A = this chain, B = another copy of it.
Amino acid sequence: MTSETNQNTAHPVTMRDVAEAAGVSIATVSLVVNEKKNARIGDDARKRVRDAIRDLGYRPNALAKTLVSGHSKFIGLVADAIATTPFAGQIIHGAQDEAWKHGYVLLVANTDGNADAEREAVGMMLEHKVRGILYSTWYHRATEVPAGLRETDFVLVDCYSPDDDATAVVPDEVQGGRTATQLLIDSGHRRIAMINTTTPSPAHEGRLLGYQQALAAAGIAYDPALVFDALPEQEGGYDSVEQLLASGATAVFCHNDRVAMGLYDGLRRRGLSIPEDMAVVGFDNQEVIAAHLRPPLTTVALPHYELGAKGIRLLLGIDEHRPNQLVTVDCPPVLRSSIAEAAHIAS
């Protein structure tokens, strides 16, 4: 059995109970509970009501409130994978904090990318009359707007509609790539390699573009021979060491922190050291890794928390935006010790 002291099930204390106990009408109770400004309640009546509330352990029923007002305090968050990485957790966290700040509660659903689950999740949220829905993916990509979403207000988070017909908030990959590269340039490097991912994606395209922009701005010619593609994991980084060394680069911008971790490993096996023999920048700022590598990895952060928070603000109309706008959030540099000299914060 599970019911313990559960006074809740036993004791559905309602406003009527409070009214009776205090010897007033339920209207009066409502007024004091909601601290209505322009409702003058006698001091004694107010006190009697307050006492009754405390004694009976009364809790207002938010659901009944919603029925009357027509507006609920729910915001739905549907994610395609809430546990694969710490990333989705950050999105939830940001969304939750921001929603909470405005008096909203988060209703979360995980769909594992399954369309049926998605339809069901969205349906469930719609039936609960959510104020709106945040639809998020665990890595930045294009996505279809799932069926049902358009029946309410919604914002895409860390994904966007290729048809450009939905408000979305995503990380600024280009600025991120520029920032990472600039860190290396500021530290004096001219021959800078990039280990990109093998899969076409906003991250692949955007970071490369940023890399090229930073190079161009510094008057360094872009050399395609310095750009390699590799699996976006430790293995990819490890396997790129040879090419990297052969390229004559003195610094490298890795597609993500995991790639950098593999690279550290490969470099060390050859007796090379970081940053002396090779300066390294990562991407993602995956704490467990970046902060604890030897030397700690300088990287660029993926702003997941901010993505979630911004999504809420967009949804609630707190942050202005044009209809169906693709809003972009900066990827800030995180300075640690894998580049020789302290670099300036670039953008």
Contacts and interface: CB of A to CB of B under 8 A. Distances in A.
A146 interface: no
Interface stretch (A2-10, A221-229, A328-336): A2-10
Contacts of A90: 83
Given A105-B124, A128-B63, A324-B4, A294 B238 contact: yes
Interface residues of A, number: 82
A57 interface: yes
A325 to B, nearest CB: 10
A233 B292 contact: yes
A62 to B, nearest CB: 4
Contacts of A166: 4
Nearest to A324: B4
Interface of A: 1-9, 12, 57, 59-64, 66-67, 70, 72, 82-86, 88-90, 92-93, 96-97, 100, 105-110, 121, 123-129, 132, 150-155, 166-167, 233-235, 238, 258, 261-262, 265, 268-269, 286, 288-289, 292-294, 305, 314-317, 320-321, 323-324
A61 B127 contact: yes
A2 B324 contact: no
B110 A128 contact: no
